[in-house]
């Protein structure tokens, strides 16, 4: 599935529009309509005015058939247009889901029979089973040219994998056992070599299954803000319903007491009610929510719920990893700085030994640089590797009586301190010099002998400073997270333009930082890809896990980035804010509409009883009948006119909340008052021309 295929279908897509029209009529089912209380009231009004029209035709009810029939038709159009808006949003999402379903095809899986890892290899004994029968914990081997049958973790081997079916990117990626790039997704293809994969999900719980369910909307629930707005709209609807209901006895009393005028008709009352309740936002509210989820998927991000998307719009603190987000992340060993009395060859040899088991890009770059200074090495049978951990921040090897360690300065300093030694002052100066220019220093020790320093260089991404400036204008604080020492972190932070940084970060410090911000009332977002990120991701209000990351990280997060781009978090926040802005702007426009329509309907409805109300006819509408009908027609047409805006979203600008509020109130508040005056007047002129 290419990005082109997975892109959101255009609003003028013929197949999409055709299906949306069909769905608009299908949604006339009362069970569907009752879910939207505002539009359900319009739905009931449509039925009632239709009955009044037929009653007038039969002579049972005395009202001009043309008038009651026209009102009934346009009320039905109002309902259909609201259905169409929702159907368009759902149709775009379903088009994306259908593309995903093409990935979910049953394939044969080579299930490993012998669970003794020592016997695993390309010729291991297997049983071919249907991929849909694989359960959590099953082991499969996938060779070059085969499709990975399940979501899981690579437990043995290394292979290049084509993930274009998921990400849309054609460039293959490396997946290997251990580290943060061990996670694989069912439906992707192994291009070279072989890997053993442990299934992490049961049938029906795969990543693609969850993607399809979310995109189709089967698991979409109203967000807290959406629920709050629904309650507000319902309250306004009830108020106007009560007001409208009291107008009939009031009209009867007025006519009887004045002995003049005519009692307001049921059709007029219904038209009045429909035009005054917030039908515009009521008809578009669901479409805005569905479209927000769809736009997120268009950015190759899968959200577990609409609540996560909405929370992204309220985020005011971003925690961003330095590596891969602010910098390119491919730190490379550039220099060796041996200690006094140590040759560069001796330092290179120790650095090489300590990095043999380090499969990270940094570790591999150290090996490459060290081989320029030292010849081949021989390891004794007693050699044992010490793996790197987030807690120790060291790795190394014990071989031939030597305990060689490589790690962050503070980690090595603590290591030496426990052995009764300390780091020399000249080494500390070199460390500070390396760190102050934005590089990362690593210390190498052999037992208690400090061998020297390795310099790792990283480069800040171009344009990232401008992006942080935009976030700052939005009132969002950016915090860089890095395992580097404070000097290196400060140098990178200053160059990138972040507001704050967390140096020498551990899983515990990340978690405590998030909790601190949350206790201060902030909404926190972060991204991560490793198992050590899982606690912090679970604590964050918005957590974006990399698709390339571990299964535990993806389970802890409420969003997954298919592109595995750490900077995607910034885009997620913008999409969330755009959804909130769109909902707020259209709500403002809808309520402002009602104010304008008041001046069209009230004078028309009661002018015969109270001639003095004609002074409110500021639009100069032709007649009470044309005024009412013009308002009803405008009320229907404005929904269809706003569908593109609801689906695309209000344009997002990097402004402060106050500036953004002022701008949108001016455009959608003032615009919401002016547009109905113009629109209703134009419709009134057309109706007058045609003698309606």
Active site residues: 321
* Token pair in block for residue 207: 């990543």
23 to each of 212, 314, 320, 413, how far by Cα in Å?
20, 33, 43, 68
464 to each of 217, 327, 567, how far by Cα in Å?
34, 9, 9
Query: Rounded CA gap, 362 and 367, in Å?
Result: 9
Question: Is residue 412 a contact partner of residue 394, using CB atoms and an 8 Å limit?
Answer: yes
Query: Rounded CA gap, 36 and 254, in Å?
Result: 35
Helix (H, G, I), strand (E, B) or coil at 172: coil
Segments in 397-533 forming alpha helices (H):
409-418, 425-436, 464-473, 486-496, 507-519
Nearest to 338 by CA among 217, 487, 454: 454
Nearest to 163 by CA among 183, 179, 138, 193: 183
Query: Rounded CA gap, 600 and 619, in Å?
Result: 7
Other beta carbons within 10 angstroms of residue 619's beta carbon come to: 19
> HEC profile for 158-204?
EEEEECHHHHCCCCCEEEECCCCCCEECCCCEECCCEEEEEECCCCC
The label of the residue with tokens 């508040």 reads 669
Query: Rounded CA gap, 90 and 236, in Å?
Result: 27
DSSP state of 669: I
Give the CA angle between residues 584, 588, 591 to the nearest 5°: 135
Q: Which residues contact 435 (CB under 8 A, 6 or more apart)?
A: 441, 484, 485, 486, 487, 488, 491
Query: Rounded CA gap, 401 and 17, in Å?
Result: 75
Helix (H, G, I), strand (E, B) or coil at 380: coil
Beta bridge partners of 178: none
Nearest to 152 by CA among 212, 109, 105, 113: 109
* Token pair in block for residue 134: 């694989």
Q: CA torsion sign, 572 to 577 to 580 to 581?
A: negative
Reported residue count of the chain is 692
Q: What is the number of alpha carbons within 13 Å of residue 399 lying toward its C-beta?
A: 20
Instruction: Supply φ then ψ for residue 219, to 5 degrees.
Output: -110, 10
* Token pair in block for residue 331: 């730190």
Query: Rounded CA gap, 431 and 427, in Å?
Result: 6
Question: Is residue 440 a contact partner of residue 623, using CB atoms and an 8 Å limit?
Answer: no
């Amino acid at each position: 599935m290419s990005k082109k295929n997975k892109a959101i279908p255009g609003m003028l897509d013929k197949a999409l529009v055709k299906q949306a029209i069909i769905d608009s009529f299908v949604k006339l089912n009362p069970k569907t309509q009752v879910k939207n209380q505002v539009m359900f009231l319009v739905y009931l009004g449509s039925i009632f005015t239709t009955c009044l029209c037929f009653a007038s035709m039969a002579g049972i009810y005395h009202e001009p058939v043309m008038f009651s029939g026209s009102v009934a038709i346009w009320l039905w159009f109002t309902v259909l247009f609201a259905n169409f808006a929702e159907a368009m949003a759902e149709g775009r999402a379903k088009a994306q889901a259908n593309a995903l379903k093409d990935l979910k095809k049953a394939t044969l899986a080579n299930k490993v029979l012998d669970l003794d890892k020592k016997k695993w290899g390309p010729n291991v004994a297997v049983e071919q089973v249907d991929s849909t029968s694989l359960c959590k914990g099953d082991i499969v081997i996938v060779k070059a040219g085969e499709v990975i049958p399940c979501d899981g973790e690579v437990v043995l081997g290394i292979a290049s994998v084509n993930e274009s079916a998921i990400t849309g990117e054609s460039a293959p990626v490396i997946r290997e056992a251990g580290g943060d790039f061990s996670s694989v997704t069912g439906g992707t293809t192994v291009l070279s070599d072989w890997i053993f994969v442990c299934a992490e999900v049961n049938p029906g719980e795969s990543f693609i299954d969850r993607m399809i369910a979310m995109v189709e909307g089967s698991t979409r629930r109203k967000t807290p803000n959406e629920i709050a707005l629904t309650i507000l709209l319902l309250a306004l609807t009830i108020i106007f319903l009560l007001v409208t209901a009291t107008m009939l006895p009031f009209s009867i009393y007025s006519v009887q007491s004045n002995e003049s005028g005519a009692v307001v008709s049921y059709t007029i009352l219904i038209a009045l009610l429909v035009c005054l309740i917030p039908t515009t936002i009521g008809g578009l509210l669901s479409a805005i929510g569905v479209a927000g989820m769809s736009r997120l998927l268009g950015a190759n991000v899968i959200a577990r719920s609409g609540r996560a998307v909405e929370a992204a719009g309220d985020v005011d603190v971003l925690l961003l990893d330095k590596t891969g987000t602010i910098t390119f992340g491919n730190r490379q060993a550039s220099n060796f700085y041996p200690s006094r009395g140590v040759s560069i060859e001796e330092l290179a040899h120790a650095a090489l030994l300590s990095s043999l088991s380090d499969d990270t890009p940094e570790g591999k770059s150290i090996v490459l640089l060290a081989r320029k200074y030292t010849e081949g090495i021989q390891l004794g049978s007693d050699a044992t590797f010490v793996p790197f951990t987030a807690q120790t921040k060291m790795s190394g090897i014990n071989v031939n009586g030597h305990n060689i360690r490589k790690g962050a300065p503070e980690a090595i300093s603590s290591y030496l301190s426990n052995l009764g030694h300390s780091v020399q002052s000249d080494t500390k100066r070199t460390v500070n010099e390396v760190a102050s220019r934005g590089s990362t220093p690593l210390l190498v020790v052999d037992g208690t002998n400090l061998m020297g320093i390795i310099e790792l260089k990283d480069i800040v991404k171009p344009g990232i400073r401008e992006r942080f400036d935009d976030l700052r204008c939005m009132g969002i604080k950016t915090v860089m997270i890095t395992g580097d020492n404070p000097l290196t972190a400060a140098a990178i932070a200053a160059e990138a333009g972040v507001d704050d940084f967390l140096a020498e970060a551990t899983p515990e410090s990340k978690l405590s930082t998030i909790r601190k911000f949350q206790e201060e009332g902030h909404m926190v977002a972060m991204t991560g890809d490793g198992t050590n990120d899982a606690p912090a991701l679970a604590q964050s209000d918005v957590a974006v896990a990399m698709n390339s990351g571990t299964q535990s990280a993806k389970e802890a997060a409420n969003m997954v980035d298919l592109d595995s781009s750490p900077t995607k978090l910034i885009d997620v926040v913008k999409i969330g804010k755009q959804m909130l802005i769109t909902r707020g702007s259209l709500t403002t426009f809808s309520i402002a509409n009602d104010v304008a329509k008041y001046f069209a309907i009230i004078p028309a409805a009661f002018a015969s009883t109270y001639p003095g109300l004609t002074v409110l006819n500021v639009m100069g509408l032709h007649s009470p009948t044309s005024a009412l009908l013009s308002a009803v027609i405008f009320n229907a047409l404005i929904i269809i006119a706003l569908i593109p805006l609801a689906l695309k979203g209000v344009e997002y600008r990097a402004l402060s909340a106050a500036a953004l509020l002022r701008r949108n109130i001016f455009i959608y508040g003032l615009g919401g008052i002016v547009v109905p005056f113009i629109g209703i007047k134009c419709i009134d002129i057309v109706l007058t021309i045609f003698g309606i």
